[in-house]
Structure 1
């Protein structure tokens, strides 16, 4: 067991510095190992918190948290600044129509899909993207049920 932990943290250290997991030079914070692993060596963003990521080692998923103000970039597989993170490939899956989708990490933004090409747009102040209706609505306590909460990710 101790050898496995040394291997895990050795692998994380190597990946952190060889692939540049963090943009600010700090280490990710280890959080948990609570779920099964689909494939070893795979980095994935956490579906509930965009500042977290998961890595599979020896059939276990280890969850890590990015440093403050950084988010996991699913394309580069590193913690990055929000403005550098693009929608995942294939996020706009219907190229023949124009439509809006929720932003993958920020409820005050949404993704406008036009001919399969995503464009990230910001909702006006005081508005959020409603997940049920797919439209921008005024933020209020009465319509917050269908509005994503901070940290929700839709990747």
Structure 2
């Protein structure tokens, strides 16, 4: 459990006797402030020093067993419940605070964000189909980031078809069904729970086979036969698929008759 420094504690005692008057709850250590998440206190031989994390970072009380007591970290790694106060922000261009991960100022741009270090902004673009997740400081699927205006319907040009329950279904059945990307043979969509589309792709040289629901050779998918054909007429596809690799049979050593 985190130990919070309470400003009105003025005197502490030791099991070995009365110590000189001090605001330190212990002789040595670092302690989170009880109200402000980016402020903490360091005690050395009962001498108190008040400290602030760099703008954009907050203090994480790691406990005495951690060996370091605590450290300044990004807000998404720290629980600031009950001590939400922060130092005044020192904003710069594209950086609401000097340090941290921040969404693009344009709310319609979901797949880009800024990593700020000492007020210097670095623009980062998420891989196709992902959006910035401010809860983790990383790129996530839209449903995981759960940002207003950045849901799957806002960033993915594909709607999962309504699922129809068949009395005698044919072909592979999936809890999260797969559908070919109608604009690109190499890609397909996984519909999580049949509703949220996530775009995935086959290895370069392969295309998605909507009948088998697997990545396959272009020659096996009529609409994608020429997908990788070059200007010289050559097809760029792997020499062999993984499932076509058959291991050699094990040799059995049979002792000869004497």
Q: If the length of structure 1 is used for normalisation, what is the TM-score?
A: 0.35
Please identify the structure whose Cα radius of gyration is greater: 2
